[in-house]
Amino acid sequence: MSQEIAVIGTPDFTTGFRLAGVRKFHNVEDGDDVEALDDAVREVARDQDVGIVVMHDEDVAKLSREPRSIVDTSIEPTFVTLGGGAGSSGLREQIKRAIGIDLMDED
């Protein structure tokens, strides 16, 4: 069974992914609506068809404790944050955590 990619965020953030063919997305109209972000994380985390969830690092920083814990510890689906803020973990580390190996290791 193939896993899908889901995107959570403001319409400005999700639009590019939707244009690229991502079919599962949760628009949070007001990026400061913590409850909507929390609910979207919980819903996507329960979706058996989703393998990767993409969020902006600023949105992840706004999450309440329990949804933030889901984002930080979930293996399936794997949450990937974009935005390059100082608090975001690197994409390389996120991929390594998701699949268990470092694809960029040259050894």
pLDDT tens per residue, range 30-69: 877 899 999 999 999 999 999 999 999 899 999 999 999 9
The answer to whether the beta carbons of residues 4 and 26 sit under 8 Å apart is no
Determine the residue type at 82.
L
Q: Is residue 58 part of a domain?
A: yes
In a domain, 40, yes or no: yes
105 in a structural domain: no
Instruction: Give me the number of domains the chain comprises.
Output: 1
Query: Closest Cα to residue 46, out of 8, 72, 9, 74?
Result: 74
How high is the mean pLDDT of the chain? 83
Q: Is residue 32 in some structural domain?
A: yes
Does a structural domain hold residue 106? no
30 occurs within a structural domain: yes
- Residue 29 is assigned to a structural domain of this protein: yes
Whether 104 shows a pLDDT value over 60: the answer reads no
User: Distance from CA of residue 86 to its chain's centroid?
Assistant: 17
- For residue 24, give its domain range: 4-99
Q: Is residue 107 part of a domain?
A: no
pTM confidence score: 0.77
| Residue 15's CATH number | 3.40.50.10580
The answer to whether 46 and 34 are in contact (CB under 8 A) is no
